[in-house]
Amino acid sequence: MSVVLSRRDVDFLLFEWLDAAGLTERERYAEHSRDTFDAVLDLAETIATRQFAPINRLLDTQEPVVGEDGKVVLPAELSEALRVYAESGMPAATFDAEVGGMQLPFAVGQGAFAFLQAASAAAASYPFLSTGNASLLVEHGSPEQVERYALPVIEGRWYGTMALSEPQAGSSLGDITTRAVRQPDGTYRLFGTKMWISGGDHELSENIVHLVLAKVEGAPAGVKGISLFIVPKFLVEPDGSLGERNDVALVGLNHKMGWRGTTNTLLNFGEGLATPGGAAGAVGDIVGEEGHGLAQMFHMMNEARISVGMGAVALGYTGYLHSLEYAKQRTQGRVAGAKDPSLPQVPLTEHADVRRMLLAQKSYVEGGLGLLLYCARLVDEQVSGADEAARTRAHDLLEVLTPIAKSWPSQWCLAANDLAIQVHGGSGYTRDYAVEQFYRDNRLNPIHEGTHGIQSLDLLGRKVVAGGGAGLATLVGAIKDTTGRAVAGDATLAAYAAQLDERVDRLAEVTGTLWAGGDPAVALANSAVYLEAAGHVVMAWIWLEQLLAVGDRRDAFFDGKRAAARYFFAFELPKVGPQFDLLASLDRTVLDVDPAVL
Amino acid sequence: MSVVLSRRDVDFLLFEWLDAAGLTERERYAEHSRDTFDAVLDLAETIATRQFAPINRLLDTQEPVVGEDGKVVLPAELSEALRVYAESGMPAATFDAEVGGMQLPFAVGQGAFAFLQAASAAAASYPFLSTGNASLLVEHGSPEQVERYALPVIEGRWYGTMALSEPQAGSSLGDITTRAVRQPDGTYRLFGTKMWISGGDHELSENIVHLVLAKVEGAPAGVKGISLFIVPKFLVEPDGSLGERNDVALVGLNHKMGWRGTTNTLLNFGEGLATPGGAAGAVGDIVGEEGHGLAQMFHMMNEARISVGMGAVALGYTGYLHSLEYAKQRTQGRVAGAKDPSLPQVPLTEHADVRRMLLAQKSYVEGGLGLLLYCARLVDEQVSGADEAARTRAHDLLEVLTPIAKSWPSQWCLAANDLAIQVHGGSGYTRDYAVEQFYRDNRLNPIHEGTHGIQSLDLLGRKVVAGGGAGLATLVGAIKDTTGRAVAGDATLAAYAAQLDERVDRLAEVTGTLWAGGDPAVALANSAVYLEAAGHVVMAWIWLEQLLAVGDRRDAFFDGKRAAARYFFAFELPKVGPQFDLLASLDRTVLDVDPAVL
């Protein structure tokens, strides 16, 4: 079996559970068939295995550096891997046909891209960010902007970035200070410094399209004053040819614990190339209207958060497969009750605690993959659902699931990576084995694209209360629909359904309790605990859904699903009990503490 | 405040809780006073702050390499830091006066050494391993062996190692294959390969004393056949001068995720220097009698496990202090309910979720420090208790606490390091801040000196059932003694005592349930869950003890103790509920799963 990602599992989830093949009956995907989906998955798996996985360690050890000419130096092997990826047509996978895309379902695109993310988080980050960038322009840009800036990215010729954070404004985007000055010709000139810009500079492509948040002079304070600008590294002529170097300067590269193959930059806009007498500043082209920047960015960010969650799943999944392979091959000791030292040593998989660590990983990563593909499938439903009601339901469900889809794998598939190291023992702690890199790489995911804390405020402060609680009601309804089908199953399924029913009722009840007082400070004080409890309830639901898709089929794969679900219901779901108790008590520990005593 | 470790907290725990000063009334420590204790703590803090902390990142980035001459190259700054440490006399801190030691209480020695471990885990590892090495020889070696091999280590002139693991035998020491061949002169010749030997080769000192587990030819299979040998890098003449190079060859250096400043080696014994006609093999001097090796090593290992736990605490603690300092200085956003963007940004400590992350860390690291110093104090009680009963009680309690003292901080103070990164946001993920290294360094602790799984088998399979359950009974009695005193306190203390009483009763009950069937496979199937639940119960006890020591005193420090304890009782202790439920159900998930379905 490949240790990158389980194709069997992706196929099961997409085709035996989520009926991705059924999408081809819809007009939007009518050009496709199960065969074309398979072909894309085959392609992704092949590129991941042959081009990405073999260079993953290299990208970790040969970090980008700035050469004497000021250009970023990356390993040639990365250029080659990305060239193969670009030439495969994969960058266009989920884009509409009218912009040159394959118009694949997002679920299939995500399933395919997960192979790349599992093989090399760093290598995959370049197309990952670029897809988000072009997707935003396709949604919000003018036709000219799409043609000039998005098409080259969709074609895989250019890369794109998202330039949001600044040194003083990370989670608090309302506090950005990058200025945009209107010019008589309708363009803008930008001045400011952007931090943590992944893919912010490199020589992998002839141009880089930065999407930059800035405030037009005189704009209101806070998020309402934010606008979005296209700021290419090289100016682009109307015919698509490249013009002058724009005033975007690489100030420095960040050096991270993991994810080292991704250039992560500090960029100055409008300070490096100011010419006497000329119009100083970085030339920017506004997207849509002034003041709409954050809303536009959020449209992209929702899909980006799903992709980040998938990235966390992918790293957890590949770590699980690596540790499973190791545990099957490595012998050590003997099992409880059969300690005769004259007997040969047994494989690690014979030890109960190693099985626990493998089952835990399996429950996290297969559950996570299920959740992320389910969310991706909702994206497809949003755009291709049979009627308004179906599309609205998909939208509402996706809204409430997105913070969980981003944060749950970032926590638990990182925990899986921790267990993958532990299964390896001392070897897992060395750089001779892959799992330590997965752990370091995955540690980024609870931070970027909105930290764990930000996701928790999004879920409890916005998503579950949106539309008078419609978001939560939709989720509860969806879960109840599943448990309703499961109680009709065998005794095991019925027992799981009963457990889940109780927990989802508690989730709804506790949500009401938290907001009953109407004081956001009190309601949100323990939002991270709420996020984690809600996440485990959702994951139990995803596992129950998977078991329903398994039905009464039996083989190693299906029995593995049963075992992982059993683990999740026995070891994991009960953890929410004390969490809900804490939340229901409106615990004030963190509110009351005086920071001076810390 | 220093960001290395809190001296105030160490002083509180040692002198206001554990009455370390009172030890000076005992004969063994009569030469000491609070002043000499303070002087040693001052010295450790100074060396940690001035010599160790400043080179911690350097040791991470300049890993040991093997030079062309085959010698290990380490940064000169490490030699200098260790020279200062050695010349301070600290290596002799806890050794008996008759072997040139200061004869300090172990608790004071551990409290002092924790500053070094917090400042640089890698630098501290050289004296750490050497202390264990010499300690073992002082306990089990002949007077000649002590003089020849232990004194130079106690004097800080040489270093020592523990050579247990082999490529095919990590956790399963009974399966080592290193052979020892008896010689007519009473010495042995060793042949074999040892893996994961920290400090196994370097030029920091003129000699290295390896303590090596091996099997004499004809010895029984398994652990009963293991003997312990002194194998110096250079042979030592009777007058203490150095003779020939022994046949111990450096085969390779391991490259780890963290802890990079510690040479970690693969060593060959008796294969490199075999001379034609001469007696091939590495010259070894047996410690005590044949077949006693593992028992001798375990004597050392118990103290080593406490020191590993302390190392995990130290890394967690320093990470907490770093993140606290960052959170107080860094401003970002505004708090729930006061989002006006025209207001200035607030310090991170104003955000509820950041406070949660700081309180969690505080509860883990101050609780962990308390547990480790409590255990160290038990070591002192074992050797200096007023009567046999007191010494026996200390011994029994220490036996049952040791696996927890090793594993709990390895899990939760690593979790603290994870939170320290999260508090820093994106910055915490870069190598510009110290916290990412703490996280990488601390990840070793759940692996070495007995993995998490090994500790759990030790606790549930041996310690709690030893002496017909005497170990557990002693622990339960100690906790009940504390809760008995706490119920007489204020309402908060009484409530905590009631919570803890309920949990410790449950611990005893569940232990009985697990063993009621008498089947070790069933009893031990979920030993890791048992270890974690027992650990949290013990930690709640340690927190209650600390609050009793605080009494009704009030200032920022004491109120901080109250806040951290409140966090632990509200957010952490309730986690044991579902764990005990799982254990009580004799859950068979991990036993039943067929590895073929994973």
Please answer yes or no on whether B574 and A581 come within 8 Å at the CB atom.
Answer: yes
Please answer yes or no on whether B578 and A578 come within 8 Å at the CB atom.
Answer: yes
Q: Which residues from chain B sit within 8 angstroms of residue A175, using beta carbons?
A: 332-333, 341, 345
Please answer yes or no on whether A597 and B557 come within 8 Å at the CB atom.
Answer: yes
Beta bridge partner(s), residue A72: A66
Contact residues for A218 (Cβ-Cβ < 8 A; gap 6+): none
Please give the pLDDT value at position A445. 98
Q: Which residues from chain B sit within 8 angstroms of residue A334, using beta carbons?
A: 172
Q: Say which of A358, A422, A570 has its CB closest to residue B582.
A: A570
> How does DSSP classify residue A240?
S
- Most A CBs within 10 A among B335, B418, B590, B592, hence the mutation to make, goes to B590
Active-site residue set of B: 449
Smallest CA–CA distance from A256 into chain B, residue: B430
Judge whether B211 and B285 are in contact, CB under 8 Å: no
User: How far apart are the CA of A61 and the nearest CA of chain B, in angstroms?
Assistant: 12
Please give the pLDDT value at position A274. 53
Please give the pLDDT value at position B335. 87
pTM greater than 0.90 (yes/no): yes
Classified as helix, coil or strand, B182 is strand
What whole-number distance in Å separates Cα of residue A474 and Cα of residue A269?
44
Q: Which residues from chain B sit within 8 angstroms of residue A575, using beta carbons?
A: 575, 578
Query: Is the per-residue pLDDT at B160 higher than 80?
Result: yes
Smallest CA–CA distance from A437 into chain B, residue: B257
Structure tokens at A359: 């089952």
> How does DSSP classify residue A345?
P
Three-state SS annotation for B350-411: HCHHHHHHHHHHHHHHHHHHHHHHHHHHHHHHHHHCCCHHHHHHHHHHHHHHHHHHHHHHHH
Smallest CA–CA distance from B451 into chain A, residue: A425
- Most A CBs within 10 A among B263, B503, B593, B594, hence the mutation to make, goes to B593
Q: Say which of A421, A557, A592 has its CB closest to residue B443.
A: A421
Angle between helices A106-119 and A293-329 (to 10 degrees): 60
Please answer yes or no on whether A446 and B559 come within 8 Å at the CB atom.
Answer: no
Please give the pLDDT value at position A275. 53
User: How far apart are the CA of B446 and the nearest CA of chain A, in angstroms?
Assistant: 8
Please give the pLDDT value at position A337. 72
User: How far apart are the CA of A117 and the nearest CA of chain B, in angstroms?
Assistant: 19
CA A291 to chain centre: 27
Active-site residue set of A: 449
Please give the pLDDT value at position B339. 79
- State the amino acid at position A313 in one-letter form: V
Query: Is the per-residue pLDDT at B1 higher than 60?
Result: no
CA-angle at A458, arms to A456 and A461, nearest 5°: 95
Please answer yes or no on whether A429 and B223 come within 8 Å at the CB atom.
Answer: no
Q: What is the largest CA-CA distance in chain A?
A: 88
Please answer yes or no on whether A337 and B257 come within 8 Å at the CB atom.
Answer: no
Structure tokens at B573: 């202790």
Structure tokens at A537: 């309830």
Q: Which residues from chain B sit within 8 angstroms of residue A595, using beta carbons?
A: 327-328, 347, 349-350, 355, 358
What whole-number distance in Å separates Cα of residue B281 and Cα of residue B179?
10
Please answer yes or no on whether A165 and B426 come within 8 Å at the CB atom.
Answer: yes
Please give the pLDDT value at position A328. 97
Please answer yes or no on whether B345 and A175 come within 8 Å at the CB atom.
Answer: yes
Judge whether A385 and A441 are in contact, CB under 8 Å: no
Q: Say which of B255, B446, B571 has its CB closest to residue A582.
A: B571
What pLDDT band is residue B379 in, cutting at 50, 70 and 90? very high
Q: Alpha helix locations (H) across A425-575?
A: 435-442, 452-457, 466-486, 491-516, 520-524, 527-550, 556-567
Q: Alpha helix locations (H) across B212-332?
A: 293-329
Fold observed for domain A160-292: Butyryl-CoA Dehydrogenase, subunit A; domain 2 (2.40.110)
Q: Say which of B256, B355, B430 has its CB closest to residue A430.
A: B256
> Complex ipTM above 0.95?
yes
- Most B CBs within 10 A among A6, A63, A429, hence the mutation to make, goes to A429
Query: Is the per-residue pLDDT at B303 higher than 60?
Result: yes
Residue written as token pair 């303070």: B38
What whole-number distance in Å separates Cα of residue B315 and Cα of residue B114?
9
Q: Has domain B160-291 been given CATH number 2.40.110.20?
A: yes
User: How far apart are the CA of B88 and the nearest CA of chain A, in angstroms?
Assistant: 33
What whole-number distance in Å separates Cα of residue B247 and Cα of residue B232?
9
What whole-number distance in Å separates Cα of residue B418 and Cα of residue A407?
15
Q: Which residues from chain A sit within 8 angstroms of residue B519, using beta carbons?
A: 337
Below-70 pLDDT ranges, chain A: 1, 272-279
Please answer yes or no on whether B172 and A333 come within 8 Å at the CB atom.
Answer: yes
Q: Alpha helix locations (H) across B171-242?
A: none
Structure tokens at B458: 């030790």
User: How far apart are the CA of A366 and the nearest CA of chain B, in angstroms?
Assistant: 11
Please give the pLDDT value at position A414. 98
Q: Say which of B352, B521, B578 has its CB closest to residue A591.
A: B352
Q: What is the pLDDT of residues B169-196, one digit of tens each?
A: 998 999 999 999 999 999 999 999 999 9
- Most A CBs within 10 A among B346, B526, B597, hence the mutation to make, goes to B597
Smallest CA–CA distance from A172 into chain B, residue: B333
Please give the pLDDT value at position B273. 59
**Cα separation values, B38 from B32, B35, B112, B366, B383, Å:** 10, 5, 9, 20, 22
Structure tokens at B525: 């199937």
Q: Which residues from chain B sit within 8 angstroms of residue A456, using beta carbons?
A: 353
Q: Which residues from chain A sit within 8 angstroms of residue B352, using beta carbons?
A: 521, 524-527, 590-591
Contact residues for A426 (Cβ-Cβ < 8 A; gap 6+): B165, B170, B195, B196, B254, B447, B448
User: How far apart are the CA of B342 and the nearest CA of chain A, in angstroms?
Assistant: 6
User: How far apart are the CA of B317 and the nearest CA of chain A, in angstroms?
Assistant: 12
Q: Has domain B7-159 been given CATH number 1.10.540.10?
A: yes
Please give the pLDDT value at position A279. 56
Query: DSSP string of B107-145?
Result: HHHHHHHHHHHHH-HHHHHHHHHHHHHHHHHHHHS-HHH
User: How far apart are the CA of B310 and the nearest CA of chain A, in angstroms?
Assistant: 20
- Most A CBs within 10 A among B195, B317, B353, hence the mutation to make, goes to B353
**Cα separation values, A523 from A67, A595, B128, B564, Å:** 51, 20, 48, 21
Please answer yes or no on whether A172 and B333 come within 8 Å at the CB atom.
Answer: yes
Q: Which residues from chain A sit within 8 angstroms of residue B444, using beta carbons?
A: 429
Please give the pLDDT value at position A338. 77
Q: Which residues from chain B sit within 8 angstroms of residue A221, using beta carbons?
A: 341-342
Closest CA to A452 of B389, B418, B129: B418
Number of CB pairs, chain A paired with chain B, less than 8 A apart: 273
